Chain A
Amino acid sequence: GAGVSQSPSNKVTEKGKDVELRCDPISGHTALYWYRQSLGQGLEFLIYFQGNSAPDKSGLPSDRFSAERTGGSVSTLTIQRTQQEDSAVYLCASSLWGLNEKLFFGSGTQLSVL
């Protein structure tokens, strides 16, 4: 595809359920980031993948959050036992090498936990 693709674009779930968010980065991009944007807030770093290196998970807010990246391409962000405070837009971004270069953002997944 031409850009970073995220799915679903919107997800409504009940408190306590698990959700999976998907990110398809631009083909060939080795770096992939997940950020969370709460209403009217900034971009909160969650996790970063670079090639085959161990991911930087330092931004994950709790052990209910996990992410994986299969084959160096598609990434899924999983939130277990969702809470209302998890409601936010989850943005994925990718770049070619991850160093000193432009990030290409997806359009995000709007997660609403009822």
Chain B
Amino acid sequence: GENVEQHPSTLSVQEGDSAVIKCTYSDSASNYFPWYKQELGKRPQLIIDIRSNVGEKKDQRIAVTLNKTAKHFSLHITETQPEDSAVYFCAAQRDNDMRFGAGTRLTVKP
């Protein structure tokens, strides 16, 4: 099955700085790559996603890039704010099989 690796496991940035989280996947047939944010004690929620026919997608301060050849994708958060502090999960899906990375704990220091 699909194997998704995510780095770094923890990330600490100063408010206003950018944060980048990277993921790689193993199955070249995967074609959907969502990112979920999980705040402490809450359920994961989708923040952005990208499909394999697109190289980049942006939504306000959040952007995701996809390199299909290298089988990696990244989440970029600009102008970070304390409320961005959470655990972020990447995922890769092939057909109905959705597999998640191990998560990145992002801390934004005010």
Chain B interface bracket (under 10, 10 to 19, 20 to 34, 35 or more)? 20 to 34
Interface of A (DSSP majority class): loop
Most buried by B among A40, A43, A56, A106: A43
Residues 47 to 65 of chain B near chain A (Cβ within 8 Å): 49, 51
A-B residue pairs in contact (CB < 8 Å), sample of 9: A31-B96, A42-B89, A42-B100, A45-B97, A91-B43, A99-B95, A100-B93, A101-B32, A103-B34
Chain A interface bracket (under 10, 10 to 19, 20 to 34, 35 or more)? 20 to 34
Of A42, A48, A108, the residue contacting B6 (CB under 8 A) is: A42
Given known A-B contacts A33-B98, A42-B103, A43-B100, A107 and B44 have beta carbons under 8 A apart: no
Question: Top 6 nearest A-B pairs by Cβ distance?
Answer: A42-B102, A43-B100, A100-B32, A105-B43, A98-B96, A102-B46
Residues of A within 8 A of B42 (CB): 107
Residues of A within 8 A of B12 (CB): none
Residue of A with least CB distance to B95: A99
B18 in the interface, Cβ–Cβ < 8 Å?
no
Residues of B within 8 A of A33 (CB): 98
Residue of A with least CB distance to B44: A105
Residues of A within 8 A of B34 (CB): 102-103
Residues of A within 8 A of B95 (CB): 99
Of A35, A99, A107, the residue contacting B96 (CB under 8 A) is: A99
Complexed CA–CA distance, A98 and B32 (Å): 11
B: residues with CB less than 8 A from A are 1, 6, 31-32, 34, 36, 42-46, 49, 51, 89, 91, 93, 95-103, 105
Residues of A within 8 A of B45 (CB): 105
Complexed CA–CA distance, A40 and B38 (Å): 11
A: residues with CB less than 8 A from B are 31, 33, 35, 40-45, 48, 50, 56, 58, 91, 98-103, 105-108
Contact A56 B89 (CB under 8 A): no
Most buried by B among A42, A56, A98: A42
